[in-house]
Chains A and B, each alone.
Chain A
Amino acid sequence: MTDTIIDIDCVTKRYGSHTVLKDLCFSVRPGEKLALIGPSGSGKTTILRTLMTLETIEGGTIRIDGENLFQMERNGRLVPADEAHLHRMRTKIGMVFQLFNLFPHKCVLDNITLAPMLTKGVKKADAERRAMELLDLVGLADKARAMPAQLSGGQKQRVAIARALALQPRIMLFDEVTSALDPELVEEVLSVMRMLGSTTDMTMLLVTHEMSFAHDFADRVLFFDRGRIVEEGPPDVLFTNPSHERTQTFLKKIIAAGQRI
């Protein structure tokens, strides 16, 4: 086995007759920061959701840490994974959503402590101490008792990041985490992610439309189009000297829309 934490092998995903992912293959090394870019509907969010087991796949295999995500062995045969298997696999993965998905009926602190207490049996006092550390990390220690409705979008998203981190996953998935934010709030979220990228050895996959952030942040960039990876490479190469025509067109459009790369 080579040194990979995620192995995606020939994955196919369909919604009805529409194929979203076509024989998709790629792998990720531990600690790698990967940016997934491409036009909307190209399948980049779908692969993140699939890794989080929010979607199922029709073909291919996904391995996390060498272990099959959607199938397990029973009596020497591969069978669809049961809830217990998925539950165990999910402990390795955390996800941050485009629309934050905070629990509106719980205060910031309870949003963060809920899952560690329920899924890992962490004691309340320990969970809260850890949550406060995380809130400190994302710069929101003073908002511990606030309700989500009282926060700005950028603050909500930082809480959502802290909530995902509280479970100490080895892999973090960021699904267009700044797309729903007002422009002036984008930077506060990006700076938290930048800090995470430089201070932790977590494997991070992000789907983003912020090209300059992807450029600075990622070790490797994958360009998706119509359910396939068209081109991949280190950001310096892919952004400045893309070899594929569709990548060039996409980046031209992005620049024309006023983004810096």
Chain B
Amino acid sequence: MADWAGYMGLMLDGALVTAKLTVLGCALALPAAFLAGLGRLSRFSAVRALSVAYIEFFRGTSIFVQLFWAYFVLPLMGVTLTPLQAGVLALGLNVGAYGAEVVRSAVQSIGREQHEACVALNLTRWQSLRHVLLPQAAVVMVPTFCNNAIELLKATSVVSLISLSDLTFQAQVVRSQTGSTAMPFLTVLVIYFAYASLISFGMKTLERRMTRGLDGLRT
């Protein structure tokens, strides 16, 4: 029982790595989602094609394959990444591809009449997007982004397989050092669940603030 505190410390280290991966992954996924999602709606077919290729590639192959590819194959092409970099890259680009579809469908869900009002007020395409369409679409995006962020959190566990000492990795370490199985795995499950609850609480707060005044009414 004396060592228990030590093992707990190990797992908290892992929890920190998992938090870091999640935050950095989201930081990459968000701009990727907006770039590719808006890219799919571009007037230029080259931009559209590029966005579709990115989205379909990252949604079509598994996050697991992407991570291994980033870690084992990219070095063969002269790009050597640390496990953390490989993890953030694969997670961010993977979830960004799913987020891109969220951005696209949210922007498309804004009614035609809002576009027409923008034309009648002589706004440029960019101005319409920036001031009218995106602010409204953002409200629609938040709940799905919340799910995406939780999916990203869960996906961080696969980096343990490229020996990054995240929460899952540390659980394995504790298991092999103590021979105890239920304790380490239950502990990390609870920590992951706490993180997921934190994300959904944060997103709900954000959503409430964004919809204030809108009253869910749109005519």
Contact = CB atoms under 8 A, between A and B. Distances in A.
A and B are interacting partners: yes
Contacts of A54: 116, 119-120
Contact of B127 (A90, A97, A118, A148): A118
Contacts of A105: 135-136, 139, 214
B128 to A, nearest CB: 9
A154 to B, nearest CB: 13
B209 interface: no
A94 interface: yes
Nearest to A95: B120
Most chain B beta-carbon contacts within 10 A, residue among A52, A95, A107, A115: A115
A103 B131 CA distance: 10
B214 A100 contact: no
Nearest to B116: A54
Interface in A54-111: 54, 83, 87, 90-91, 93-95, 97, 99-105, 107
Interface string B195-219: 0000000000000000001111111
Interface residues of B, number: 24
A107 B215 CA distance: 13
B113 interface: yes
Interface in B108-155: 113-114, 116-117, 119-125, 127, 131-132, 135-136, 139
Nearest to B113: A101
Contacts, number: 79
A42 interface: no
Interface residues of A, number: 31
Contacts of A163: 121
Contact of A147 (B117, B139, B215): B215
A112 B68 CA distance: 53
The residue in B116, B135, B139 that gathers the most chain A C-beta atoms within 10 A of its C-beta is B116
18 contacts: A52-B120, A53-B119, A54-B116, A83-B125, A90-B119, A94-B120, A103-B136, A104-B136, A104-B218, A104-B219, A105-B136, A114-B131, A114-B132, A118-B127, A119-B121, A147-B213, A149-B218, A167-B122
Interface of B: 113-114, 116-117, 119-125, 127, 131-132, 135-136, 139, 213-219
